[in-house]
């Protein structure tokens, strides 16, 4: 399929893989214990305030809310065989086998700026395919306006779902035009390898102009709907998390500023950089929100 997007970021911008691998240690302050990274790479521990903000947010709550839980427990998740149910307002609803999807897709590397946790960013080389291509397989019907996503729910493999920290299964949503945008991909790999379980194997959404929590992991169901679908973080805390969740330095989270961020790998003395509207992808996506008040539609 003809893809309409070109990387502006290059391999030179990519966060070194060792730092990516060691990120949880970097963010969790374990760096001092020598647990950081392959190849002996050692990153700095962020200052305590930032550390607090980060550790309050975990990356894959189905495996627990403790900062080390995803890496510790996600290995239990069985990711093969895997299928994705595509239903709702589509011409060809059904269970789409992941291996069959992969056989049909063009897998490309995309280097994206990614907000991994709220005030930290990285530049990550993802491998994947455009979500639009998957939706094409199912045939989106005229009445569809939104896309709802659901993560697998397997209590026997996911120790965190015993706790009602979120309303399981984890769900997310995009407006149809956001979902069809060429920047929106389903990632199946990272740094040229299969995606690790804790990052959402075997396929997870990546929507690079939005905050990290929109990028739902280990997707098993995609439903085309007419109405705006519920999202996990909005259900848990509607004041703090809206449906859109576009990266926006002008709209603070009620508990912290979103105006600046730090690039992982910058080290403890790295200056905070100004956060860019739409995470730096304004040229590509601002038109989707023309005329919308982004303060009320946060």
Asked if the bond preceding 81 is cis, omega within 30° of 0, the reply is yes
Q: Which of residues 88-147 bind ligand MTE (CB under 6 A)?
A: 116-117
Structure tokens at 284: 């590509």
Q: Choose among ligand MTE, Mo ion, none what residue 31 binds, the Cβ cut-off being 5 to 8 Å by kind.
A: none
Can you say how many angstroms the Cα of residue 280 is from the centroid of all Cα atoms in its chain?
Answer: 16
Between the alpha carbon of residue 197 and those of residues 59, 61, 78, the distances in Å are 11, 13, 9
Residue 57 interacts with Mo ion (CB under 5 A): yes or no: yes
Between the alpha carbon of residue 143 and those of residues 93, 227, 289, the distances in Å are 15, 10, 20
Asked if the bond preceding 122 is cis, omega within 30° of 0, the reply is no
- Nearest to ligand MTE of 130, 150 (CB atom): 150
- Nearest to ligand MTE of 109, 145 (CB atom): 109
Q: Can you tell me the distance from the alpha carbon of 226 to that of 88, in angstroms, rounded to the nearest whole number?
A: 9
Residue 20 interacts with ligand MTE (CB under 6 A): yes or no: no
Residue 28 interacts with Mo ion (CB under 5 A): yes or no: no
* Nearest of 270, 297, 5, 283 to residue 121 by alpha carbon: 270
Residue, CB closest to Mo ion: 212
The site string for Mo ion over 91-120 (x = CB under 5 A, - otherwise) reads --------------------------x---
Minimum gap (Å) between residue 157 Cβ and ligand MTE? 13
Q: Can you tell me the distance from the alpha carbon of 208 to that of 128, in angstroms, rounded to the nearest whole number?
A: 13
The neighbouring-strand residues paired with 112 are 124
Residue, CB closest to ligand MTE: 212
Of the candidates 112, 129, 168, 170, which one interacts with ligand MTE according to CB under 6 A? 170
Residues near 238 by Cβ (< 8 Å), separated by ≥ 6?
Answer: none
Residue 222 interacts with ligand MTE (CB under 6 A): yes or no: no
Minimum gap (Å) between residue 44 Cβ and ligand MTE? 19
Residue 217 interacts with ligand MTE (CB under 6 A): yes or no: yes
Give the strand pairing for 94-97 and 83-88: antiparallel
Q: Say how many Å lie between the first and final Cα of the chain, rounded.
A: 33
Of the candidates 45, 59, 197, 234, which one interacts with ligand MTE according to CB under 6 A? 59
Residue 60 interacts with ligand MTE (CB under 6 A): yes or no: yes
Minimum gap (Å) between residue 291 Cβ and Mo ion? 29
Residue 213 interacts with ligand MTE (CB under 6 A): yes or no: yes
Residue 208 interacts with Mo ion (CB under 5 A): yes or no: no
Minimum gap (Å) between residue 124 Cβ and ligand MTE? 8
- Nearest to ligand MTE of 167, 252 (CB atom): 167
- Nearest to Mo ion of 96, 244 (CB atom): 244
Alpha helices in the chain (DSSP H): 17-21, 23-28, 48-55, 69-73, 98-104, 131-138, 176-180, 232-236, 282-285
Residue 213 interacts with Mo ion (CB under 5 A): yes or no: yes
Hey, is 23 helix, strand or coil? helix
Of the candidates 15, 46, 61, 224, which one interacts with ligand MTE according to CB under 6 A? 61
Residue 243 interacts with Mo ion (CB under 5 A): yes or no: no
Binding site for Mo ion (CB under 5 A): 57, 117, 212-213
């Amino acid at each position: 399929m003809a893809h309409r997007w070109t990387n502006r970021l290059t391999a030179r911008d990519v966060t070194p893989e060792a730092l990516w691998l060691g990120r949880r240690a970097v963010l969790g302050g374990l760096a001092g214990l020598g647990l950081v990274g392959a190849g002996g790479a050692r990153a700095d521990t962020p200052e305590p305030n930032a550390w607090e903000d980060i550790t309050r947010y975990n990356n894959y709550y189905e495996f627990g809310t403790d900062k080390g839980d995803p890496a510790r427990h996600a290995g239990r998740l069985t990711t093969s065989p895997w299928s994705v149910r595509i239903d709702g307002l589509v011409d060809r609803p059904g269970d789409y086998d992941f291996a069959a999807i992969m056989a049909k897709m063009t897998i490309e590397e995309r280097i994206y700026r990614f907000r991994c946790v709220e005030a930290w960013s990285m530049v990550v080389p993802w491998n994947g395919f455009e979500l639009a291509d998957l939706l094409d397989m199912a045939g989106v019907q005229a009445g569809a306006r939104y896309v709802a996503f659901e993560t697998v729910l397997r209590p026997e493999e996911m120790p965190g779902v015993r706790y009602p920290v979120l309303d399981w299964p984890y769900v997310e949503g995009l407006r149809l035009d956001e979902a069809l945008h060429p920047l929106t991909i389903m990632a199946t790999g990272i740094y040229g390898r299969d995606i690790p379980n804790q990052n959402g194997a075997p396929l997870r959404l990546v929507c690079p102009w939005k905050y990290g929590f929109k990028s739902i992991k280990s997707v098993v169901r995609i439903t085309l709907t007419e109405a705006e679908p519920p999202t996990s973080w909005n259900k848990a805390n509607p004041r703090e998390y809206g449906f859109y969740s576009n990266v926006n330095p002008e709209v603070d989270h009620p508990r912290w500023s979103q105006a600046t961020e730090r690039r992982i790998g910058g080290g403890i003395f790295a200056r905070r950089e100004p956060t860019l509207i739409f995470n730096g992808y304004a040229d590509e996506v601002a038109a989707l929100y023309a005329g919308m008040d982004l303060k009320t539609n946060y």
